[in-house]
């Protein structure tokens, strides 16, 4: 089975940096995904890590350590529109999602 943990909530100031951690315990591992979900909307894809290391994509970066079962999503230069839930998911053909981290960006 899959056990995926991430913090429930985080608050940060506009322009700041926030790091969302995700730890996982899985029976098999094929990749780790991060999705953004605004309230009442479907998730949108942010990043995918299959190998250890940092993947950078604009203001968003994602890191993976397979030996530690650990990932983080780094959001830089926070904007108000970044207020959303961020979902960590593990899998390949089928995805198992964490409960999500609600990030609130304050002016």
User: Of residues 24-43, which lie at the interface with another protein (CB under 8 A)?
Assistant: 31, 33, 40-43
Nearest residue (CB) to another protein, 69 versus 98: 98
Quote the CA–CA distance of 92 and 101 in Å, as a whole number. Answer: 21
Nearest residue (CB) to another protein, 48 versus 70: 48
Quote the CA–CA distance of 75 and 61 in Å, as a whole number. Answer: 7
For residue 22, give the nearest of 75, 91, 95, 89 by alpha carbon.
89
How many other C-beta atoms are found inside a 10 Å radius of the C-beta of residue 6? 22
Minimum separation from the CB atom of position 90 to another protein (A): 12
First to last CA, the chain: 40
Contact between 44 and another protein by CB under 8 A: the answer reads yes
Q: Which stretch binds another protein (CB under 8 A): 13-21, 58-66, 70-78, 86-94?
A: 86-94
Chain contacts with another protein (rule: CB under 8 A): 31, 33, 40-45, 48, 50, 87, 92, 94-100
């Amino acid at each position: 089975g899959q056990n995926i943990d991430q913090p429930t909530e985080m608050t940060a100031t506009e322009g700041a940096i926030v790091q969302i951690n995700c730890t996982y315990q899985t029976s098999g591992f094929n990749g780790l995904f991060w999705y953004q979900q605004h309230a009442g909307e479907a998730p949108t894809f942010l990043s995918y890590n299959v190998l250890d290391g940092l993947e950078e994509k604009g203001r968003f970066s994602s890191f993976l350590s397979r030996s530690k079962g650990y990932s983080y999503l780094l959001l830089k230069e926070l904007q108000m529109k970044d207020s959303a839930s961020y979902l960590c998911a593990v899998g390949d053909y089928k995805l198992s999602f964490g409960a999500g981290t609600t990030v609130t960006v304050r002016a």
